[in-house]
Chain A
Amino acid sequence: METRSMRISLAIWSALVIAFLWIPLVIIGLYAFNKSNIQGWPISSWTLHWFSVTWHNPEARAAFWLSVKVALVTTGIALVLGTMAAAAVARFRFFGRDTISFLLVLPLALPGIITGTALLRFFDFANIRVSIWTIVIGHATFCVVVVYNNVVARLRRTSPSLIEASQDLGADGWQTFRFVLWPVLSTALVAGGLLAFALSFDEVIVTYFTAGAQETLPIFILDNIERGDQLPVVNVVAFFVIAVTAIPVILAQRVMRDTGVIGRGAAQVTEAVEAAEIPAV
């Protein structure tokens, strides 16, 4: 397997990459305490003033909650639609099946400015006024595929005979879903849902085109960056968001820890099960 020196080199490389990922975040955190509203280095004077300003800024709070709302609705839609599409694709063979995977990944694979412009022109044509719902639609286009892919991957590793067995035992569709499918899918849904939420929460380009007078958090940050006289506020906001989201992310990965997305042990278990089963078709 891996030699000791290889293991050490990999560990060092990993540490360096993680440092690369986090040093700018540390700097963001530092600038949240910067007295001056111009970002200069090194920071000459420190203050907690901007925390108070941000806390008392109703726009910042409103933007935060709007982003949370949009992300929640988007994630909900993505979970439902993504699972349905994944279930259909994983369980049935039909004409055009492969194309669906291809089509669904397009919003994520194509540049945001294309999605944003195309959607705006669609809303124009269909006479749909831009509102919080158009933002949600925009986000849903690229969030569905994230859930879809996770669920499809999970369903592929799940034997369909599980469902057959459940129905043999007399369970109807709902009971099968609740007692058999849900435990199998839950971690895939959590993983997909988390990523979908993150994508929606921080999205700015598509949102810019599909929003009206609504200010999501990224739009609020963009506005503040353009004005510039309260720049530390965006650093406070970013700092706050990282601190706050650490908790659900840590909790979520604990949920996933034992069954599937993380866990070599789980992978081995799954593989053993797959090896032992008789393929359904």
Chain B
Amino acid sequence: MSRIRKRHALAVVVLAAAVGALVVSAARIQAGNAATGVVTKIGKGEGRLNLVEWPYYSDKSFAKPFERQTGCIIHRKDAGTSGDMFSAMHANGGGGGGQWDLVSASGDASLRLIYAHDVKPIDIHLIPSWKDFIPVFKSPAHNTVNGQHYGVSVQWGPNTLIYNTKKVKPAPANWNLIYSKKYKGHVTIPNNPIQIADAALYLMKKKPSLGIKDPYELTQAQLTATVNLLKQQKPVLKRFWNYAPDEITSFKNGDVWLGAGWPYQTLQLQANKFPAKEIVPVPTTGWADTWMLASKAPHPNCALMWMKYVTTPKVEARQAYVFGETPVNPKACPYMNKIQKGLCNDYHLNEPGSYFKQIKFWKTPIPQCGWTKKQSCMDYNAWVQAWAQVTG
């Protein structure tokens, strides 16, 4: 054993720090320069496209032809939650970090991305299919701000009430059943702060005295009342589901008989000969996804080409089938029925315009109340904390 003097140890530490600093500076790479201004034309493809997406949003069945046509090879990062998507886009200095080009953000994240300057507006006329879109998806509040389009809508889905036909009798007609004690211990709802909006929507009818005008724009008092409803509901629940397959397994294994979900879960259960049905009680909430362009996108041309490609009817139909959601382009309907008979109907694509007006699509809660100037509304952070009170 040899003894080392204190000053020698100090030398070690200093040297270590110096070496470390050298290593770090060697590894630094220049962050991409933020491109400014709205992109108004699609130039030549850059040969690569980096996506932050929900799983299957660039499924090989329709991504491969795109890669062949444009030469833009796709690299993807799959996100499990909107939070993950936001983190990916906001890291490394934001704007996609100079690494990501596109993100398929749902309405609960899109406004956050916009206000954090992580995404930038595009000239919507660069997307020819846009003019065919169902009207509510052309310039929805969750991706269009001050007339500027921060990306293009791509797919959507309603939040539905799924039930086990053998255990839940009679069949439900509205959302009341998931708040009632009748099936206590056999109900499930999504584990997502945005679920507060569903409860708020319910209170809009049940307690008009609260004055809720928009389930995503709640004052402190309205938020508190909604949280109380959710706390009351909690003993009725078996669990909160996190991923769609979670909910499917819970139904299949008999733990859950009734729950808030999406058409995807119902169709999967039915495909496996499980007695499940769903209703879409309007008014209801829904989610809609937008392909958004990162402010520091290194391959903007490939990105725009993708946005153009993925909104065409045939590709919309393909993606809808693969993921289990509904296109924003109604011209996809015949293509959907060609993939599987009745698919267009199953996913509620051919509903009339009035139907869509009854769906309150996800929207990031922000402090500005659209319906009043006299009060301020609770922002997303407040919703996250409120949700912790519900689940905690």
Question: Within the complex, are A and B direct neighbours (CB within 8 Å)?
Answer: yes
Task: Please give the residue numbers on chain A whose beta carbons come within 8 Å of chain B beta carbons, in ascending order.
Answer: 36-41, 91-96, 120, 123-124, 126-130, 160, 211-213, 215, 222-223, 225-229, 231, 280-281
B99 interface hit (Cβ, 8 Å):
yes
A-B pairs with beta carbons under 8 Å apart, 18 shown: A37-B268, A38-B248, A38-B252, A92-B1, A94-B4, A94-B9, A96-B9, A123-B91, A126-B28, A127-B30, A128-B28, A128-B29, A129-B29, A129-B92, A129-B97, A228-B243, A229-B268, A281-B1
Q: Is the CB of B24 within 8 A of A126?
A: yes
- Give which listed residue, A93, A126, A160, contacts B3 with CB less than 8 A: A93
- Give which listed residue, B8, B24, B248, B252, contacts A94 with CB less than 8 A: B8
Q: How far is the CA of A116 from the CA of B272 in the complex (A)?
A: 38
B249 proximity list for chain A (CB < 8 A): 38-40
B43 proximity list for chain A (CB < 8 A): none
Given A38-B252, A212-B99: A227 in contact with B56 (beta carbons within 8 A): yes
A126 proximity list for chain B (CB < 8 A): 24, 27-28
A37 proximity list for chain B (CB < 8 A): 268, 272
B269 interface hit (Cβ, 8 Å):
yes
Q: Is the CB of A213 within 8 A of B98?
A: no
Q: What is the chain B residue whose CB lies nearest that of A209?
A: B87
Given A95-B6, A212-B77, A223-B55: A130 in contact with B92 (beta carbons within 8 A): yes
Q: How far is the CB of A28 from chain B (nearest CB, A)?
A: 15
Q: Is the CB of B93 within 8 A of A124?
A: yes
- Give which listed residue, A39, A127, A231, contacts B93 with CB less than 8 A: A127
A92 proximity list for chain B (CB < 8 A): 1-4
Q: Is the CB of A222 within 8 A of B1?
A: no
Q: Is the CB of A41 within 8 A of B4?
A: no
- Give which listed residue, A129, A226, A229, contacts B98 with CB less than 8 A: A129
Q: Is the CB of B2 within 8 A of A93?
A: yes
B window 177-220: CB within 8 A of A:
none
Q: Is the CB of B78 within 8 A of A225?
A: no
Q: How far is the CA of A226 from the CA of B53 in the complex (A)?
A: 12
Q: How far is the CB of B235 from chain A (nearest CB, A)?
A: 27
Q: Is the CB of B55 within 8 A of A227?
A: yes
Q: How far is the CA of A281 from the CA of B6 in the complex (A)?
A: 19
B167 interface hit (Cβ, 8 Å):
no
B244 interface hit (Cβ, 8 Å):
yes
Q: Interface SS of chain A: helix, strand, loop or mixed?
A: loop
Q: Is the CB of A120 within 8 A of B31?
A: no
Q: Is the CB of B29 within 8 A of A127?
A: yes
Q: What is the chain A residue whose CB lies nearest that of B50?
A: A213
- Give which listed residue, A127, A225, A229, A231, contacts B92 with CB less than 8 A: A127
Given A127-B28, A127-B29, A212-B77: A227 in contact with B245 (beta carbons within 8 A): yes
Task: Say which size band chain B's interface belongs to.
Answer: 35 or more
Q: How far is the CB of B322 from chain A (nearest CB, A)?
A: 9
A228 proximity list for chain B (CB < 8 A): 243-245, 248, 268
B131 interface hit (Cβ, 8 Å):
no
Q: How far is the CB of B273 from chain A (nearest CB, A)?
A: 9
B window 51-65: CB within 8 A of A:
55-56
A-B pairs, top 3 by smallest CB distance, nearest first, are A228-B245, A94-B4, A281-B1
B75 interface hit (Cβ, 8 Å):
yes
B80 interface hit (Cβ, 8 Å):
yes
Q: Is the CB of B1 within 8 A of A160?
A: yes
B138 interface hit (Cβ, 8 Å):
no
B99 proximity list for chain A (CB < 8 A): 129-130, 212-213
Given A92-B2, A93-B1: A40 in contact with B253 (beta carbons within 8 A): yes
A91 proximity list for chain B (CB < 8 A): 1-2
B76 interface hit (Cβ, 8 Å):
yes
Q: How far is the CB of B59 from chain A (nearest CB, A)?
A: 10
Q: How far is the CB of A214 from chain B (nearest CB, A)?
A: 8
Q: How far is the CB of A27 from chain B (nearest CB, A)?
A: 14
Q: How far is the CA of A223 from the CA of B50 in the complex (A)?
A: 17
Given A95-B6, A128-B28, A212-B99: A38 in contact with B269 (beta carbons within 8 A): yes
Q: How far is the CB of B300 from chain A (nearest CB, A)?
A: 18
Q: How far is the CA of A123 from the CA of B97 in the complex (A)?
A: 11
Q: What is the chain B residue whose CB lies nearest that of A229?
A: B268
A127-B30, A129-B99, A229-B268 known; 16 other A-B pairs, CB under 8 Å? A38-B245, A39-B249, A39-B252, A40-B253, A91-B2, A92-B2, A93-B3, A94-B6, A95-B6, A95-B9, A124-B92, A129-B98, A212-B77, A225-B245, A226-B243, A228-B245
Q: How far is the CB of B323 from chain A (nearest CB, A)?
A: 9
Kindly supply a per-residue 1/0 record for chain B positions 238-272, scoring 1 wherever the CB is within 8 Å of any chain A CB and 0 otherwise.
00000111001100110000000000000011001
Q: How far is the CA of A92 from the CA of B4 in the complex (A)?
A: 7
Q: Is the CB of B6 within 8 A of A226?
A: no
Q: How far is the CA of A164 from the CA of B5 in the complex (A)?
A: 22
Q: How far is the CB of A178 from chain B (nearest CB, A)?
A: 23
A211 proximity list for chain B (CB < 8 A): 77
Given A213-B50, A226-B245, A228-B243: A93 in contact with B4 (beta carbons within 8 A): yes
Q: Is the CB of A213 within 8 A of B29?
A: no
Q: How far is the CB of A53 from chain B (nearest CB, A)?
A: 13
B76 proximity list for chain A (CB < 8 A): 213
A39 proximity list for chain B (CB < 8 A): 249, 252-253
B55 proximity list for chain A (CB < 8 A): 223, 226-227
Q: How far is the CB of B253 from chain A (nearest CB, A)?
A: 6
Q: Is the CB of B78 within 8 A of A226?
A: yes
A229 proximity list for chain B (CB < 8 A): 245, 268
Q: Is the CB of A213 within 8 A of B77?
A: yes
B98 proximity list for chain A (CB < 8 A): 129
A225 proximity list for chain B (CB < 8 A): 243, 245
Q: Is the CB of B92 within 8 A of A123?
A: yes
Q: What is the chain A residue whose CB lies nearest that of B91?
A: A124
- Give which listed residue, B3, B31, B50, B244, contacts A127 with CB less than 8 A: B31
Q: How far is the CB of A163 from chain B (nearest CB, A)?
A: 12
Q: How far is the CA of A227 from the CA of B57 in the complex (A)?
A: 11
Q: What is the chain A residue whose CB lies nearest that of B94?
A: A124
